[in-house]
Amino acid sequence: MIQRIGRRRAAMLIAAAAAGSLVLSGCGDSSGDSASGGGGKTVAVSLITKNSTNPFFVAMQNGAKKAAEAEGVKLTVAAGKEDGDEAGQVQAIEDAIARGDAGILITPNGPGVNPAIKKARDAGLYVIALDTPPDPADTVDITFATDNFKAGELIGKWTAAQLAGKPATIAMLDLFNDKIVSVDYNRDQGFLTGMGIDTADKKKNGDEAKTGSYSGGTYTIACNEPTNGAEDGGRTAMENCLTKNPGINVIYTINEPAAVGAHKALQAAGKTQAVLVVSVDGGCDGVRQVKDGVIGATSQQYPLKMAELGVQAIKKIATGGEKPKVSDGLDFFDTGVSLVTEKAATGVESITSADGAERCWG
C-alpha cells in the first residue's frame, strides 16, 4: 500500500517502534516526496526473518536496507526470537497489515505462519518468501531462494567422492524434529540423493533405510538430530550422535553454525581426524572454516541478493510494474548456489575458499 505522510505516518512510526521493529526510511525530502512514487507517498515493505542472530539473516537484513535506501522504500525489519518462533513472525505480519505496507518479505519459521500470510495477501499485500519456500509453495506470491535440494545434493556428491568407496557412518544434523520446513527436508534429502542413497518421502527426514549402499560403498545412518540451526544445538546434537555411534565419519549439517557446534563436540571427544563435515550457507565465517579444514565443503547461498531482489520487486509492483516470475522448471525464483571447498572432486563443480570469500556475506 502507498501511505500518506503526516500525523498518520508519525503515529504509525511510533507504533512500529513500540513493537520492537527497526524502520529504515528511504530517500525523500521533508515534504514526504520520495523516489518511490512522489506526491507525498512512499512504498512500505516489511522484512521478517527467522531470527536476528544468525549471520545469514543479518546479511539478509543488510541487503534489504541497502536496497531500500537505493529504491526510496520505507523498510521495517522484524524477526522471530529464534528459529521456529512462528508466533513472533505472525505478530510481525499483523503489524505489517495494520501499517498498510505494500508487501512483506519473509523467511517462514514454519507452517504456523501460513494463515497470517493468507490474511496479508487477502488484505492486498504482496508476499515474497526468501530462502525458505513455504509448503505449499503457493502460500506466498513467489519465493526467492537457493535451490536447497541442489545445495544438499552438491555436498552429498562431494562427500561420496571424498570417501572413495569407504564405508560411511553418517550423522544427520537437521533443523527441527517437531515441525516440517522445506529448507530442512530439501537439504537433508538432497544430501542423501547426492550420496546415492535412496530416499522414501522427499518431504520427510529420517524415513530412509538406516543401512544400505551409497554410490561408492556401504552406509549407516547413525542419527537424525535437530539443531535449531544454532551452534549450541549443533554441539548437543553431535554429542547425542556420538553416544549412539562413536564411529561416525560423515557429518551433514543444516547450516554452518550447526557445523561449528558439531566440530566442537568432535574436538571434546578427540575425534576430529578423518571426519568429513559438510554444510550449507557460505557465509564469510563458514568460508574461513572451509579454508581452515573445519568444514570440508559448503554450499554457498546469496541472501543479500534474495533481499535486494525482494525489495525491488515489491517497489516495482507497488508502482505499477510487472510481477516477478519463477525460474524455468521450478516453483520459485532461483538465486543460485556454489559449492565451496579446498578439495575439488571430479564431476562436482566447485569454487575455492578464496573465490567463496569474494562472494560471501556476514
Whether the predicted pLDDT of 355 surpasses 60? yes
What grid cell was written down for 221? 545412518
In terms of domains, do 241 and 288 share one?
Answer: yes
In terms of domains, do 213 and 280 share one?
Answer: yes
Angle at 223 between CA 222 and CA 225, to 5 degrees: 160
103 half-sphere exposure, CB direction, 13 A CA radius = 25
> How many structural domains is the chain composed of?
2
Whether the predicted pLDDT of 37 surpasses 90? no
In terms of domains, do 193 and 275 share one?
Answer: yes
The answer to whether the predicted template modeling score (pTM) of the entire model surpasses 0.75 is yes
In terms of domains, do 184 and 309 share one?
Answer: no
CA atoms of 360 and 362, how far apart (whole Å): 7
In terms of domains, do 33 and 110 share one?
Answer: yes
- Within a domain: 119: yes
Residue 160's H or E segment, with its range, is helix 148-163
- Within a domain: 331: no
pLDDT band at residue 273, thresholds of 50, 70 and 90?
confident
In terms of domains, do 32 and 114 share one?
Answer: yes
Q: Which percentage of the chain shows pLDDT scores above 70?
A: 89
- Within a domain: 329: no
The identity of residue 149, as a single letter, is: F
- Within a domain: 110: yes
Per-residue pLDDT tens digits for 63-105 = 999 999 999 999 999 999 999 999 999 999 999 999 999 999 9
In terms of domains, do 50 and 82 share one?
Answer: yes
CA 355 to chain centre: 21
Per-residue pLDDT tens digits for 107-151 = 999 999 999 999 999 999 999 999 999 989 999 999 999 999 999
- Within a domain: 182: yes
Range of the domain at 251: 148-300+337-359
Whether the predicted pLDDT of 22 surpasses 80? no
In terms of domains, do 164 and 111 share one?
Answer: no
In terms of domains, do 242 and 170 share one?
Answer: yes
CA 196 to each of CA 182, 221, 345: distance values in angstroms, whole numbers, following the listed order? 21, 13, 15
CA atoms of 253 and 225, how far apart (whole Å): 10
Looking at residue 41, its pLDDT comes to: 75
CA dihedral 224, 226, 230, 235 (to 10 degrees): -60
CATH number at residue 295: 3.40.50.2300
In terms of domains, do 80 and 224 share one?
Answer: no
- Within a domain: 199: yes
184-199: burial string, b at 16+ Cβ within 10 Å, e else: bbbbbbbbbbbbbbeb
Whether the predicted pLDDT of 299 surpasses 90? yes
In terms of domains, do 288 and 343 share one?
Answer: yes
In terms of domains, do 210 and 353 share one?
Answer: yes
